[in-house]
Homo-oligomer: A and B are copies of this chain.
Amino acid sequence: MHSEGVASRSAEPRDSNRSRQHTPQLDAVSLAIIEQLQEDGRRPYAAIGKAVGLSEAAVRQRVQKLLDQGVMQIVAVTDPLTVGFRRQAMVGVNVEGDVESVADALTAMSECEYVVMTAGSFDLMVEIVCEDDDHLLEVINRRIRAVPGVRSTESFVYLKLKKQTYMWGTR
């Protein structure tokens, strides 16, 4: 089902230091808890506890810790098409000068839903979500190319979304 998947990416990144350092590596139980919540973010703690073999209170503590640590977030994720965004595209960007500053500028744009620095023939990959073609055109041609340091861009307009997941650990 779902020709248009409910969509969107994940959590907003936190500062580099925090989560990386004390990322004590999750044990099997925490993984199991996460899997439960990936199936249903509102599943009661008691039900999760029964599934993973822990008391309700223990599950609650673990979940709270996972949230505090930024290991996971429990959120509503939507289908862009349903919410009124009809055009999406991936844009590869080539930069001259400081890549990170360009990345920061793109990150500040609300239409840029996903920004990654990459190795390869593009310095940056950016996913854009727009309301219509005009909007998309304006974002790519006027806004992104106007950012100082952007040498060139190449666009890949989405024709059909085939898969979107957030099922780690579940493997």
Contact = CB atoms under 8 A, between A and B. Distances in A.
Interface of A: 1-20, 23, 25-26, 31, 34, 37-42, 70-85, 89-90, 92, 100, 103-104, 106-107, 110, 112-122, 125, 129, 154-169, 171
Nearest to A16: B3
B19 A14 contact: no
B4 A19 contact: yes
Contacts of A169: 78, 83
B154 A121 contact: yes
Contact of A76 (B7, B72, B171): B72
A7 B5 contact: no
Nearest to A39: B75
Contacts of A83: 26, 31, 34, 71, 168-169
Contact of A120 (B70, B156, B160): B156
A168 B165 CA distance: 18
Q: Nearest 9 CB-CB pairs, A to B?
A: A2-B13, A2-B14, A3-B16, A6-B11, A5-B13, A8-B166, A1-B14, A1-B15, A37-B76
